[in-house]
Chain A
């Protein structure tokens, strides 16, 4: 035996470690040295729950999906949609119940099968039957094919936003090939869209990282800017920051707690409006909590919230205070509709017959979504306490939705999708809206929704704007701040369009 075998073993281990580190150094440090734009490395805070677009939700996964599944229409920053795989389109007749579009020719899915009317029908029929979060956003009576490339949608109820619902928004436009639809198990394991890239399953681990390689059938080779795109899911914000600092990713979404450090480290950060953090007064008809039926009480709750310091504390510069839900059709004049005025709030409560306040229960999504959940609600509750409104806050992490729908809570604090307005109505304001547990209704808002859905262009925009203004005047919610998603990128990244609903990976480019 060696004179001192343990020391020898330790020394050998240290040498091996050193050799590994030194070897790595000679190859470019941590592998971050980039000499070309061959590979785009994206980091996302959360990835697709499934690769099947019909069953997946929205948000950050759309960055990746746009690379593999080009949509029929392209969603614009103002929530309109422009034709993408479609050459022309129109509503047929009046009332927005029939929509027809013609496909561009010569386009193929990544499995080589052609894009035609039959393929679109197969996909739309499949999408409508899946238990996905967007299946109910369009009420389809039937899908018809008219010739090889024309598709007609017959709607059960009118919709003014069909092009938008066939874009990246809601995944319905993210077509997948008929072969994959015939074998839904394959849709969970791969991508079969009409996109510039296709998933390389052998180099991917579901839920962790996805490797995309160019599709040999993509119709616009100039749009294939990278030989490889890797999308890494980094749920821990600190890890995302470190990924940027160590130059292991080129582009990704940060949060308000890590963005300042990223900027300090030289990462370019762009941010713009993404959504609104608010308290939805679910029992606004006063079913269980009588005071909420009075608009003066709901307005008092709005006046009582000091939005400025809350916003600063929760999201810093990555957001701004607001008195209304930020949607595609909001009146900027109402942004400060309810300035902080506790005296006025108390007066309104007294006028409504509640001079000593009242009590109510509120549910929030806990701390699972960071400052947007419990920390914000607890601060708002303190403001309400000052006007005599006592709030019992219940944080719910894994069961926010069932709790919010349980009718135990007069209000819910969350960040709902408030755009497009037509979808927000189905989510929040319709008597049978999915997040309207007490079935609260308002005849005027219902009428505006019905009207807007049968109109088009500016007419529809004006009607929906009026609807949103009425929601703010009626104080159905207590909006607190609009939040921004800080998008981080290195100096080479191009194609990020400020103000867009989502950064689409397919738009990203590289400038040396």
Chain B
């Protein structure tokens, strides 16, 4: 959480949870450019490490795609021929080198099993997973921050009740919550579909309906995390000297809470949101299975079981890029929320 104190002139002095140095105002566009450049530079080795490690793990997994394709009826000769055809007989580093050579030019190849271009498969599923994740983040921000502030401001029994609810949200397994939601809201009440996804372009209303239950189930954990973080950060800030002074100077309660306290408390919350976003990528895998939603999670699970290395590799790269972007956005958000936190 943020280290918040008061400097010589009475303004809150904030150190970001990531330990960013405190600088004067106006990091400006040069700071932003510098940040983007540094992020781009560090992204390259990160992608190399993730993709090579992922490739190695896949290669170490018992079994291979050739056996998967031939099933039980393939003769040893057919099996060896197919391995050669797929390049699976080559040393792992050579297979990775070939993959990398194509990947850097944007060619992620074809799925070994389905034969369809990997990039096409991924692009058809990105909107689904992103709808789930962005939807869950929105819910987390609105509900988590809302209840967190409410809990911190009200305190007492209500505050503790909200706190307990947050713990419950953490404790409940996503797939169980998903199943319960389906039984109640899809089967009993028939308000929402039990499974499937409707693209926004097909019907915006049905798109929302198809997302309500999976997003609710997926966001429960992150709502809890954001709620807890918001509550604690708000309690910290509300108890600080400058807030008391502002209150003594006649600043209105709403202005104190939403303009001054929440803005400062938001920095650690943004950090939690960043972490939660990355966690949601993992949670989406489960939720996509429970709700039979055609996202990247279900794609990567099926592909991993089929030893479809090109597809799994491409999804891993995509997820890594998402993580890099999320981290970048978090850094930018620090600067926006408090210009004293330098992005440089």
A residues sitting closer than 8 Å to B (CB atoms) are 1, 3-7, 9-10, 13, 17, 20-21, 23-25, 29-32, 49-52, 55, 57, 131-137, 184-185, 187-189, 205-209, 232-236, 238-239, 242-243, 245-246, 248, 368, 396, 398-403, 416-417, 423, 426-427, 432, 434-435
Interface residues of B in 20-75 (CB under 8 A from A): 61-64, 66-75
Inter-subunit contact B63/A399 (CB<8 Å) = yes
Across the interface, A24 reaches (CB within 8 A) one of B75, B191, B255, namely B191
- Measured CB to CB, the closest approach of chain A to B166, in angstroms, equals 16
Contact between A426 and B73, CB atoms less than 8 A apart: yes
Which A residues are in CB contact (< 8 Å) with B190?
25, 29-30, 32, 246
Q: Given A236-B289, A399-B63, do A6 and B305 touch, yes or no (CB 8 Å)?
A: no
CB atoms of B205 and A207 under 8 A apart: no
* Cβ–Cβ < 8 Å partners of A368 in chain B: 305
Contacts A235-B289, A399-B62 given; does A50 touch B115 at CB 8 Å: yes
Q: Is the Cβ of B114 less than 8 Å from the Cβ of A188? A: yes
Q: Could you jot down 30 A-B contacts, CB within 8 Å?
A: A1-B259, A9-B146, A13-B142, A20-B209, A24-B206, A30-B192, A30-B193, A49-B306, A50-B115, A51-B115, A55-B115, A131-B69, A131-B74, A136-B78, A188-B110, A209-B196, A209-B294, A235-B292, A235-B302, A242-B183, A242-B187, A246-B186, A246-B187, A246-B190, A396-B62, A398-B307, A401-B67, A401-B72, A402-B63, A426-B73
Name the interface size band of chain B: 35 or more
CA distance A235 to B292 in the complex (A): 8
Q: How far is the CA of A185 from the CA of B146 in the complex (A)?
A: 51
Contact A189 B187 (CB under 8 A): no
B212 at interface, CB cutoff 8 A: yes
Given contacts A136-B78, A403-B62, whether A6 and B191 have CB atoms under 8 Å apart is no
Measured CA separation A50–B302 after assembly (Å): 13
A-B pairs with the 3 shortest C-beta distances?
A: A188-B115, A208-B294, A399-B62
Please name all residues of chain B whose beta carbon is closer than 8 Å to the beta carbon of A50 when the two chains form the complex.
Answer: 113-115
User: Considering only CB atoms, which chain A residue lies closest to B191 in the complex?
Assistant: A21
B249 within 8 A of A: no
**B294/A205 in contact, CB under 8 A:** yes
Q: Tell me which of A21, A32, A401 contacts B63 (CB under 8 A).
A: A401
Q: Mark B185-200, 1 if CB is under 8 A from A, else 0.
A: 0110011111110000
Interface status of B328 (Cβ within 8 A of chain A): no
Which residue of B is nearest A245, CB measured? B187
Contact A3 B292, beta carbon cutoff 8 Å: no
Given the known interface contacts A21-B192, A49-B306, A435-B72, the answer about A207 and B294 at a Cβ–Cβ threshold of 8 Å is: yes
| Interface assignment of B299: CB less than 8 Å from any CB of chain A | yes
A50 to B145, CA, bound (A): 46
Contacts of B75 in A (CB 8 A): 136, 432, 434
**A230 CB → nearest B CB, Å:** 10
Rounded to whole angstroms, the CA-CA distance of A203 and B194 in the bound complex is 20
Q: Which residue of the partner chain, among A51, A246, A400, A434, contacts B114 with CB atoms under 8 Å?
A: A51
Return the chain B residue nearest A432 by Cβ: B75
Among B205, B292, B305, which residue has its beta carbon within 8 angstroms of that of A243? Answer: B292
Q: Is B13 interfacial (CB-CB < 8 Å)?
A: no
Which residue, of B193, B205, B259, B289, has the highest number of chain A Cβ atoms within 10 A? Answer: B193
Contact of A6 among B81, B149, B298 (CB under 8 A): B149
Contacts of A1 in B (CB 8 A): 254-255, 258-259
Residues from chain A with a CB closer than 8 A to the CB of B63 are 398-402
Contact across chains for A434 and B289 when beta carbons are under 8 A apart:
no
Q: How far is the CA of A403 from the CA of B72 in the complex (A)?
A: 12
Residues of A within 8 A of B266 (CB): none
Decide yes or no whether B124 CB sits under 8 A from chain A: yes
Check if A24 sits within 8 Å of B192, measured CB to CB.
yes
CB contacts between A and B, total, < 8 Å: 190
B267 CB within 8 Å of chain A? no
Q: Mark B246-269, 1 if CB is under 8 A from A, else 0.
A: 000000001100110000000000
- Contact A239 B209, CB 8 Å, known A6-B145, A434-B72: no
Q: Which residues of A contact B5 (CB under 8 A)?
A: none
Sample of 11 further A-B pairs with CB below 8 A, known A6-B258, A235-B302, A435-B72: A20-B209, A21-B191, A23-B205, A51-B114, A131-B70, A133-B73, A207-B121, A243-B292, A246-B193, A246-B194, A402-B63
- Residue of chain A at shortest CB distance from B194: A246
CA A82 – CA B121 in complex, angstroms?
Answer: 38
Residues of B within 8 A of A185 (CB): 110, 115
What's the least CB distance linking A432 to chain B, in Å? Answer: 7
Q: B179 on the interface (CB 8 Å rule)?
A: yes
Determine the residue in chain B with the shortest Cβ distance to A49: B113
CB-CB under 8 A from A23, the residues of chain B are 205
B298 touches which one: A10, A208, A403 (CB < 8 A)? A208
Query: Contact check: which of B82, B179, B182, B258 meets A5 at CB < 8 Å?
Result: B258
In the complex, A358 Cα to B121 Cα: how many Å?
A: 51
B74 contact from A189, A423, A434, Cβ within 8 A: A434
| In the bound complex, CA of A165 to CA of B65 (Å) | 25
State in angstroms the CA–CA spacing of A23 and B255 once bound together: 37
Q: Is B290 an interface residue (CB 8 A)?
A: yes
Contact of A133 among B71, B186, B191, B206 (CB under 8 A): B71
User: Complex: how many Å from CA A313 to CA B307?
Assistant: 32
Most buried by B among A9, A206, A209: A206
Q: Which residues of A contact B182 (CB under 8 A)?
A: 242, 246
Q: Are A137 and B142 in contact (CB under 8 A)?
A: no
| B294 contacts A30, C-beta separation under 8 Å | no
Q: For the complex, what is the distance from the CA of A424 to the CA of B113, rounded to whole Å?
A: 25
Distance in Å: Cβ of A502 to nearest Cβ of chain B: 16
Chain B residues with Cβ under 8 A from A32's Cβ? 190
A234 adjacent to B69 (CB under 8 Å): no
Whether A49 contacts B114 in the complex (CB less than 8 A), given A25-B190, A207-B294, comes out as yes
- The answer to whether B146 touches A239 (Cβ under 8 A) is no
Asked if B306 and A21 sit within 8 Å, CB to CB, the answer is no
B99 within 8 A of A: no
The minimal Cβ–Cβ distance linking B262 to chain A, given in whole angstroms, is 9
The answer to whether the Cβ of B85 comes within 8 Å of any Cβ in the partner chain is: yes
Distance between Cα atoms of A5 and B72 in the complex (Å): 63
**B186 x A242 contact (CB < 8 A):** yes
Per the bound structure, the CA–CA distance linking A21 and B191 in Å amounts to 5
Is B108 in the interface zone, CB < 8 Å from A? no
The answer to whether A21 and B146 touch across the interface, beta carbons within 8 angstroms, is no
Q: With A6-B150, A23-B205, A49-B113 as given contacts, are A239 and B290 in contact (CB-CB < 8 Å)? A: yes
* Residues from chain A with Cβ under 8 Å of B85 in the complex: 131
Q: How far is the CA of A13 from the CA of B140 in the complex (A)?
A: 12
Q: Can you name the residue of chain A whose Cβ is closest to the Cβ of B289? A: A236
Q: Which residues of A contact B298 (CB under 8 A)?
A: 207-208
> For the complex, what is the distance from the CA of A7 to the CA of B69, rounded to whole Å?
56
Name which of B124, B142, B195, B299 has the most chain A CB atoms within 10 A of its CB: B195
Question: Complex Cα distance A246/B189, Å?
Answer: 10
Q: Tell which of B67, B179, B186 has the most Cβ of chain A within 10 Å.
A: B186
A132 vs B72: C-alpha distance when bound (angstroms): 11
Known contacts A21-B212, A55-B69, A398-B63; A10/B143 CB under 8 A: yes
Asked if B62 contacts A24 (CB within 8 A), the reply is: no
Q: Which residues of A contact B334 (CB under 8 A)?
A: none
